[in-house]
Amino acid sequence: MIRTAIARTGVLKPARTRKCAVKGCATRFQPRSITHKVCGPACAEVHAAAERKRLDAKQTRERKQALKTRADYLKEAQVAFNAFIRARDAALPCICCGRTSEKQYLTGSNWDCGHYRSTGSAPHLRFNEDNAHRQLTVCNRHGAGRAVDYRIGLIQRIGLARVEALEADQAPRKWTPEQLIEIRDTYRAKLRELKEKA
Ligand SMILES: [Zn+2]
Ligand SMILES: [Zn+2]
Residue-wise DSSP of 29-77: E--SSTT---SSHHHHHHHHHHHHHHHHHHHHHHHHHHHHHHHHHHHHH
The answer to whether residue 128 sits within a structural domain is: yes
Closest ligand to Cα 50: 1
Ligand 1 centroid – CA 22 distance (Å): 6
Ligand 2 centroid – CA 150 distance (Å): 8
The answer to whether residue 100 sits within a structural domain is: yes
Ligand 1 centroid – CA 23 distance (Å): 8
For residue range 139-182, what is the model confidence (pLDDT) as tens digits?
888 766 688 999 999 999 999 999 999 999 999 999 999 999 99
For residue range 51-90, what is the model confidence (pLDDT) as tens digits?
999 999 999 988 877 777 888 999 999 999 999 999 999 9
Ligand 2 centroid – CA 141 distance (Å): 10
Ligand 2 centroid – CA 144 distance (Å): 11
The pLDDT score that the predictor gives to residue 76 is: 95
Q: Cα 121 from chain centroid?
A: 20
The pLDDT score that the predictor gives to residue 63 is: 84
The pLDDT score that the predictor gives to residue 5 is: 44
In this structure, the number of other CB atoms found within 10 A of the CB of residue 74 comes to 19
The answer to whether residue 40 sits within a structural domain is: no
Closest ligand to Cα 148: 2
The answer to whether residue 168 sits within a structural domain is: yes
pTM here is 0.64
The pLDDT score that the predictor gives to residue 16 is: 84
The model's confidence at residue 198, banded by pLDDT at 50, 70 and 90, is confident
Ligand 1 centroid – CA 124 distance (Å): 55
The answer to whether residue 91 sits within a structural domain is: yes
The model's confidence at residue 3, banded by pLDDT at 50, 70 and 90, is very low
Q: Where are the beta strands (DSSP E) in the chain?
A: 18-19, 28-29, 111-115, 132-136
Average pLDDT over residues 34-55: 94
How far apart CA 174 and CA 56 sit, in angstroms, is 26
For residue 36, report the phi and psi dihedrals to the nearest 5 degrees: -85, 110
| Contact (CB, 8 A) for 108 and 124 | no
The model's confidence at residue 6, banded by pLDDT at 50, 70 and 90, is very low
Ligand 1 centroid – CA 21 distance (Å): 7
User: Domain range holding 142?
Assistant: 63-197
Closest ligand to Cα 18: 1
- The DSSP 8-state label assigned to residue 175 in this structure reads -
The answer to whether residue 94 sits within a structural domain is: yes
For residue range 96-151, what is the model confidence (pLDDT) as tens digits?
999 887 554 545 468 899 999 999 999 999 999 999 999 998 888 876 668 899 99
Count of domains observed in the chain: 1
